[in-house]
Amino acid sequence: MPKLNWISDLSSDELREFLKSVDTILFDIDGVLARASTILPGTVDAVGKFRQLGKKICFVTNNAIAPPEVLKAKLIPFQASLEEIVTPNITLLAYLKKIDFQKTIYIIGSRFTKKMLREAGYSVIEYKDLQTTDVEETLSSAMQVSLRVLDACKNVGIVYADLDINLQNMAVHVAKILLKHMDDVQFLTGTSDDRIPIGENFSLIGPKYFIDGLQRWSGVQAIPLAKPGRVLKEVIDAKFGISQDNRVLMVGDNVSTDITFGIESGFQTLLLLTGDTKKQQAVDWAFDEDLKPDYVAHSLQEVYEKVKTIPTAL
């Protein structure tokens, strides 16, 4: 059982070799650089130091609620540009363009994602377009909705599921009906996080539970567009000109999304303990053995304290 490599234990030579081996650094945002609207200590200095060392910087988030412009404003202290920010919405548009999608999308997701798709010229339908009033609480009423949905959604070619803070149970039911009872409907997903940090000791229920359920109920496997999905890697590779996977470092706080994405992409990985993953979980390694990261640090501030004296010329 390989032990964890803690950044704090690296010698000066080991730290230099590590930094020399990295050209591009992908940072998750929530739980790594910030918690809700609060920038975490030392993170601005750390990102600035990596820029000084000549590293390409990318901010990769599973947040599909916030428009890129809002994320850019949040990341002003990090001197982030729009071109450095990658979200599930960006991946979604890239995927739709790649497959030349011409049909209708049934969506469970944020208002911004729906607006973005419509402005990009795609036909979008959501639950409130199909059912404008509450469904009577009888099984026969649910059946009537199911049949009406199949008739109204004959042109649907994609079911897209992401975080919807105002989610209704029947919206998920409609997604299941379309996936199970219609042919050739793709199932795409944005974030599949189990929980989403929203403040100190508070988290929001993520969409993982109903995405997992939709796959189980319909028998259709989802194509993830957020971390840890393969499509996201293709977008990042193209956007940043990545040709050597092992010279990319993924920095994240979530083992099931950030670290899994890094490992499956062939990137180096650094797990931080300022968000989803707690110290004891890392020490005891409460996850699959093959998901162990290359490095672990308590925080990005700790990383900065290790690298701040390293000269620009490695």
Do 214 and 233 lie in one domain? The reply is no
Which of 173, 197, 224 is the C-terminal boundary of a domain? Answer: 224
Which stretch of DSSP H or E encloses residue 302?
A: helix 300-307
Which of 184, 201, 224 is the C-terminal boundary of a domain? Answer: 224
Tens-digit pLDDT profile for the chain (314 aa)?
578 999 999 999 999 999 999 999 999 999 999 988 899 999 999 999 999 999 999 999 999 999 999 999 999 999 999 999 999 999 999 999 999 999 999 999 999 999 999 999 999 999 999 999 999 999 999 999 999 999 999 999 999 999 999 999 999 999 999 999 999 999 999 999 898 877 777 888 999 999 999 999 999 999 999 999 999 999 999 999 999 999 999 999 999 999 999 999 999 999 999 998 999 999 999 999 999 999 999 999 999 999 999 887 66
Do 143 and 184 lie in one domain? The reply is yes
Do 238 and 283 lie in one domain? The reply is yes
Q: Quick check: is 2 in a domain?
A: no
Inter-residue contact 207 to 163 (CB < 8 Å)? yes
Do 17 and 128 lie in one domain? The reply is no
Q: Check the annotation: does 276 bind a ligand.
A: no
> Total structural domains in the chain?
2
Q: Check the annotation: does 253 bind a ligand.
A: yes
Do 111 and 205 lie in one domain? The reply is yes
Q: Quick check: is 92 in a domain?
A: no
CA–CA separation, 171 and 163 (whole Å): 12
CA–CA separation, 140 and 153 (whole Å): 20
Q: Check the annotation: does 30 bind a ligand.
A: yes
Whether this prediction's pTM lies above 0.85 is answered by yes
Of 73, 113, 21, nearest to 314 by C-alpha is 21
Name the DSSP class of 6: B
Which of 208, 224, 240 is the C-terminal boundary of a domain? Answer: 224
Q: Check the annotation: does 164 bind a ligand.
A: no
The domain in which residue 121 lies consists of 101-224
Q: Quick check: is 56 in a domain?
A: yes
Do 256 and 188 lie in one domain? The reply is no
Instruction: Indicate which residues carry an active-site annotation.
Output: 28, 30
Q: Quick check: is 120 in a domain?
A: yes
Q: 């601005």: which residue's tokens?
A: 44
Write the CATH number for 264: 3.40.50.1000
Do 152 and 216 lie in one domain? The reply is yes
Q: Quick check: is 275 in a domain?
A: yes
